[in-house]
Structure 1
Amino acid sequence: MAKAPAGVRLVRKVSSTRLFAKVAPHVIPAMDRAVHRLTRGKVLLSAQMLPGVILTARGARTGRPRVTPLACMPEESGDWILIGSNFGREGHPAWTANLLKHPDAEVSWKGADIAVRASLLEGEERERVWKEALRFWPPYATYQSRITRQIRLFRLTRR
C-alpha cells in the first residue's frame, strides 16, 4: 500500500489523541454545519480529509429531525458506511440510536439529498467491514482501544 501524504499522516496522528477526542466533537460538527449551509450543501470542511455526509435522521426519543455531519466510507456499490466511533469516547453517538429506532433517513452527499435506509452491521459482515474501515482510516483502531463498547457500523443504502 502506498504511503499516505505527510498532511494525512499528521491528521491521523493528531486525531488519535485524547485531546482531539475531547475538543473535536464540539468544534468539527459546528464548522461542518455552517460551511455546508453557506455552500448550499456542496462543501464539508472535514471532507477535505475524509469523505463526509450530512445525515438527517429522526431523533430516537423526540422523532424530530436531527442533522449530523459525519465522516463516511463510500462503497463501490454506491452505499456508505458510517462508523460510530464518537472520536474514541465512551458512549455510542446519539445518531446511532436514532438510526436503530428510525432506519429511514436522508444524507446530503456532494450537494444531493438522497433517501437512505440504515442497517446495523453485525457478525462476519461487521468484521469484514471493520477491517476495511481500519485500512481506510487507521485511527479507528486507537478509538476502539480506548473504549469498552464495540463501535457500531451502519450501511446506508439508497431507498
Structure 2
Amino acid sequence: MKLMNGVHRAVLAISGGRLGWTLGGMPSVELHTTGRVSGIRRSTMLTAPVHGNGRWVFVASKGGDDRDPLWYRNLVAHPDAAITVRGRTLNVHAHTADTAEKAELWPQIVAANSRYAEYQTKTTRDIPVVICDER
C-alpha cells in the first residue's frame, strides 16, 4: 500500500497534477491527518466512492486486511483533518458512519467499486466507512 501511495503521488507530481486525480472512475483524494501517537502530519492517497455537497466518503478497507488502516486510526483520534482534491486543500471533520449511515452509503460505495464488497468478505472486521464534511 505504501508503494502504491508513493507511485500515485509521483504520477501526480510528474504530470503537474494533470494525471492521477481519478482512479477507477472515483476521485483521488489526499487525506492529511495528525498522527495519533506522534502528533506529526501524515498523508495518504485514497479514493472517494461517494462525494458531493461538501461531503467525502472513504472506506477503511485496507484491501480486506484484519487491521484498520493507520489513517483511519489517526482520524478516530484526531477527527479534524484536511483533504487535497485536484490541488485544492479543504478542512474537514471526520466521523465513522453509524449503522444507519453505513447501510445507506454501502450500496452506493459498492456500485462505485465492487471490490469493496470483496474486501468485506476477506475479513471478519466490519470495515468502517468514514464521512468527512467540509468545515
When normalised by structure 1's length, the TM-score is 0.77
Q: Deviations over 1:64-96 (max 9, x none)?
A: 000100111242323110100101111000000
Who is 1:116 aligned against? Answer: 92
Where does the alignment leave 5 or more consecutive residues of structure 2 unmatched? none
Q: In 2, Cα distance between the equivalents of 1:138 and 1:67?
A: 25
When normalised by structure 2's length, the TM-score is 0.90
Distance apart, 1:139 and its partner CA: 1.0
Distance apart, 1:40 and its partner CA: 5.1
For 2:133, what is the secondary structure of its paired residue? strand
* Structure with the higher fraction of residues in helix conformation: 1
Q: Aligned-residue CA RMSD in angstroms? A: 1.7
- 1:154 equivalent to 2:130? Answer yes
Matched to 1:95, the amino acid is: W
Distance apart, 1:116 and its partner CA: 0.8
Determine what percentage of the aligned residue pairs are the same residue.
28
Distance apart, 1:111 and its partner CA: 1.2
* Structure with the higher fraction of residues in strand conformation: 2
Equivalent residues of 1:55, 1:108 under 8 A apart: yes
Aligned length: 134
Q: In 1, Cα distance between the equivalents of 2:70 and 2:18?
A: 25
Distance apart, 1:44 and its partner CA: 2.5
**Aligned 1:1-159 pairs, distance under 5 A:** 25-39=1-15, 41=17, 43-44=19-20, 47-49=22-24, 50-159=26-135
For 2:91, what is the secondary structure of its paired residue? strand
Q: In 1, Cα distance between the equivalents of 2:62 and 2:14?
A: 25
For 1:28, what is the secondary structure of its paired residue? helix
Distance apart, 1:51 and its partner CA: 1.5
Distance apart, 1:108 and its partner CA: 0.6
Change in Cα spacing, 1:43 to 1:79, as seen in structure 2 (3 Å) is farther
